[in-house]
Structure 1
């Protein structure tokens, strides 16, 4: 949450995240903190143990030296919707939060009395957007259960957002050996929510797997992050943990690349507007239509994107805080 840019010039961003599993959510948080163009007004978590995810998020804010929940003027962190609307089983890696110490001591923003976490996060999101119509960008980088819950409770949310920026899906028509359209984790994890969000009418931009897979973080990048203070050390350890989980010596920063749409949009090329069809597996088809509200990334400058991600993550780890 850099203070180097005037508040009026910064984009007001809400982050909806399944932080704790794939390290790219945590890298995205650091990227946003290191982007002077962004005012991070709040964070909601989604999918599975959302309380653990919220506590992990709060701990990362602590490591960054950023005021979080419980601090006057701090960034609120709310545990959101845990259970997919589709009824799909939650996939859990097992290492979530394991490198962040005793998360019972991490503070989160409590729900309103008598309100479930899912409904509280949804109500807060809708109220935040309604208080500043056309000013709030919602960056959703996990399954879309929380966003869909908010839209169900507050359909007017779609008209209040400046933009809805999503990481999800595969949009190039690639098919499996069985002839099925390839799907992707975020949309597959709650296909019902994906269908509702992608047809809600909010101005939406989506970055899919065929784009993010062109960008890589290498070992040298991780070494630079590791040297960037307490947050950098933890992020680097989480990157290595994730690489070991998949037995790969490099990583794909799916979510940070998506976040670049808010701060370095020239790195990505967008296709025309259109509408979206979502099947029961969460596989998607984009149909060009001038009346549609959804645009899909069709190209990326991979070298520039990787450099921008690393530069902004480093800034988020080392920037001085008010």
Structure 2
């Protein structure tokens, strides 16, 4: 009962104070989206996936499992979509890579039975989707960029037919935590060559770097989410417990939020060079990206929480 009381107080307060983000959404044409994720290590991917499916402005065409053990990530995604009551969109397996990081949510993924047929190849199927809807698809990239690099290698002309890439990645002035010095950010440094290919691709790129994505899900907000008791929030709670740390930072969720409402993270045109250590360095010259250098955590959560805590429509 105490958790429910906290939920009601926090969620109601957010809904009341949320400004235009808490108001029922006006009917708009849905954006076609491919979501590329390395769900299963850090917990922020799961929160980003949840937001994508609870945003009526987005039509998720496919989810691509990226980086590391992409087969197991695809199993996790199938499990999550099913048990969270989310739409059963195609799940595709991306490029498998070597990694030494911990797959914290492995137990959850392994509860999903092996598929009866191999997962579709994320590179081929994503390129096919782009060919069928040229200039219409937003690729939301919240993983190391191995799948993106493979798409560029296989068919750069088709890749350039994306409407845009919205990327969580990079570090311009802000590092992790309270570090006020830029540093190589995970999604860039785990596949530097693919990141270099993306920034040279000519596709419109919208970058959500560490500068704008240190978004802490504090104790009150965690209680609001995990005490909510919906199918979606129950699955988020299970994954959070397997993740095994205390306070999530919802880096990746900002990329999804930006795709829905760019006002949440205003961007500045910049020319970004990815160096061989994974640094994203602003340089003089014609811009190749639009970069968000700051955001409001309060505004973000006023946008995020009402969507994830809203009743499911049947």
Indicate conservation of the 8 Å contact 1:183/1:284, yes or no: yes
* Structure-to-structure mapping, 1:56-71, within 5 angstroms: 56-68=76-88
- Report deviation, 1:219: 1.9
Indicate conservation of the 8 Å contact 2:272/2:283, yes or no: yes
* Structure-to-structure mapping, 1:131-170, within 5 angstroms: 131-170=132-171
- Report deviation, 1:158: 3.5
Number of aligned residue pairs: 285
After superposition, the Cα gap between the structure-2 partners of 1:110 and 1:152, relative to the gap in structure 1 and judged at 3 Å, is same
TM-score, normalised on structure 2? Answer: 0.83
Distance 1:173 1:66 in 2: 35
After superposition, the Cα gap between the structure-2 partners of 1:173 and 1:26, relative to the gap in structure 1 and judged at 3 Å, is closer
1:29-71, CA deviations, whole angstroms, 9 ceiling, x for partnerless residues?
1101110101011010111110110110111110232342xxx
Distance 1:39 1:165 in 2: 15
Indicate conservation of the 8 Å contact 1:16/1:46, yes or no: yes
- Report deviation, 1:167: 0.5
1:216-250, CA deviations, whole angstroms, 9 ceiling, x for partnerless residues?
111222222222412211202322443x34xxx42
TM-score, normalised on structure 1? Answer: 0.82
* Structure-to-structure mapping, 1:22-61, within 5 angstroms: 22-61=42-81
Does residue 320 of structure 1 match 2:310?
no
Distance 1:162 1:108 in 2: 31
Match of 2:112 in 1: 103
Distance 1:174 1:43 in 2: 28
| Residues 293-302 or 44-53, more deviating | 293-302
Match of 1:211 in 2: 212
Runs of at least 5 residues in structure 2 that lack an aligned partner in the other structure: 1-24
Indicate conservation of the 8 Å contact 1:56/1:106, yes or no: no
Runs of at least 5 residues in structure 1 that lack an aligned partner in the other structure: 69-74, 84-88, 112-119
Root-mean-square deviation over aligned CA pairs = 2.3
* Structure-to-structure mapping, 1:1-322, within 5 angstroms: 9-68=29-88, 75-83=89-97, 89-99=98-108, 102-104=111-113, 110-111=119-120, 120-172=121-173, 182-213=183-214, 215-226=215-226, 227-242=228-243, 244-245=244-245, 249-272=246-269, 274-287=270-283, 289=285, 291-315=286-310, 318-321=311-314
Match of 1:116 in 2: none
